[in-house]
Amino acid sequence: MSEVKVITGTSAAAEAAKLADVDVIAAYPITPQTTCVEKLADFVANGELDAEYIKVESEHSAMSASIAASATGARTFTATSSQGLALMHEVLFAAAGMRVPVVMMNANRALSAPINIWNDQQDSLSQRDTGWIQLYAEDNQEVLDLVIQAFKIAEDEKVLLPVMVNLDGFILTHTVEPVTLPKRETVLDFIGTYEPKHAYLDPKKPMTQGALGDPNYYMETRYAIETAMRNAEKVIADVHDAFAEKFNRAYGNGLIESYNLEKAENVIIAMGSICGTIKDMIDLKKKEGVEIGLLKIRCYRPLPVEMIKDALKNAKNVAILDKSISLGMNKGAIYADVASHLKDKKTVNYIVGLGGRDITSEDILGIYADVETSEDGKTNWVGLKEE
């Protein structure tokens, strides 16, 4: 029987890793992720989880240890945030290139300088080309559910790629919500046993991993990762559907989630916890007879372009919210990726919430009002202080 606990997002991620019965955890602290690996340390120390807990000296080492552990055939989990994720950058490519299905929780946090520990999504969006699948949670229940699903997605033979589950720093990592925890046996029955055929340690069957890829082979390895990313779209949807049937919780089609899009001409595209506030505003305006909508992106890599285009077929004006900025382009990463596929719509980019700047309900309603009259292709910085 499932159990309901009132817990933080970091605890939800730790509980999910425990439910997945991970073999190895590589841990290095960084705010606001630290409480996740602290919780896992408690589980191991208390005998609730039989796993190797590796304390390392940096995030670069945490990812290196995770890659090595996964390359032996172990189910592996780690967690990080912001500067820590940036320090991992080099080895994030190695994890994807070696096709090791590491699962990592990332607490989204702004990058320095200036020093800032609050939320935006610049850290993970800056890693979008490393070959990691990127999933984004709206609330703490979705954090737990995504981490569980992440293992099944990553270990699927048609994918075999690392997965990053992202949650907004402090907004989810340090606030408590009721979270339903399924039984461990049920989760393990859902995920299944990880039995790698491509990367494992067996002295009787030695293999080379992380070998040199000269110009005769390197391009093929990148194409193979891209192919795996395309395969992942169906796998993510299938895993989501199987999860929904087994645990009775669903999130759109697993890659995107539509909210009141049928009649809405003015639509917001967003990711993460801000989607909860946007849904509240949609419900508020609906009572007044005004139809506005939300397209929530749960899966940013691979980006489900055709699904997004189909979901927005009735929209006229699309506001794309970015908690990141591509400096020198004056656009956010999501806008840069999505707008070019929506040529028949007006698209406007809204830069919001950088460094933890509050995004109010009035801001959301203002964006819905602004997108109807704003110039196509324009970028608006929301909440920017005037000199």
In DSSP notation, 76-139 reads: EEEEEEHHHHHHTHHHHHHHHHTT---EEEEEE-PPSSSP--S--SHHHHTTTTSS-EEEE-SS
What one-character-per-residue DSSP string does 114-126 give?
SP--S--SHHHHT
pLDDT value of residue 1: 74
b/e map 191-208, b = 16+ CB within 10 Å: beebebeebbeeeeeeee
pLDDT value of residue 180: 98
Per-state percent for the chain, helix, strand, coil, to nearest 5: 40, 20, 40
In angstroms, the CA 115 to CA 377 distance is 31
Contact criterion met (CB below 8 Å) for 42 and 216: no
* Four-CA torsion 194, 68, 25, 29, nearest 10 degrees: -150
* Four-CA torsion 325, 331, 334, 338, nearest 10 degrees: -170
In angstroms, the CA 162 to CA 167 distance is 17
pLDDT value of residue 387: 59
Q: What is the DSSP letter of 375?
A: P
Q: Fold for domain 256-381?
A: Rossmann fold (3.40.50)
pLDDT value of residue 386: 76
pLDDT (tens, 9 = 90+) of the chain, 387 residues, equals: 799 999 999 999 999 999 999 999 999 999 999 999 999 999 999 999 999 999 999 999 999 999 999 999 999 999 999 999 999 999 999 999 999 999 999 999 999 999 999 999 999 999 999 999 999 999 999 999 999 999 999 999 999 999 999 999 999 999 999 999 999 999 999 999 999 999 999 999 999 999 999 999 999 999 999 999 999 999 999 999 999 999 999 999 999 999 999 999 999 999 999 999 999 999 999 999 999 999 999 999 999 999 999 999 999 999 999 999 999 999 999 999 999 999 999 999 999 999 999 999 999 999 999 999 999 999 999 999 975
Q: In a 10 Å sphere around its CB, with 0-12 CB exposed, 13-18 middle and 19+ buried, how is residue 119 labelled?
A: buried
Say whether the peptide bond before residue 29 is cis (omega within 30 degrees of 0).
no
**Architecture, CATH, for domain 3-247:** 3-Layer(aba) Sandwich (3.40)
What ranges do the domains of the chain cover?
Answer: 3-247, 256-381
| pTM for the structure as a whole | 0.98
Angle CA(258)–CA(235)–CA(148) in degrees, nearest 5? 80
Q: What is the DSSP letter of 378?
A: -
- Bridge partners for 168 per DSSP: 108
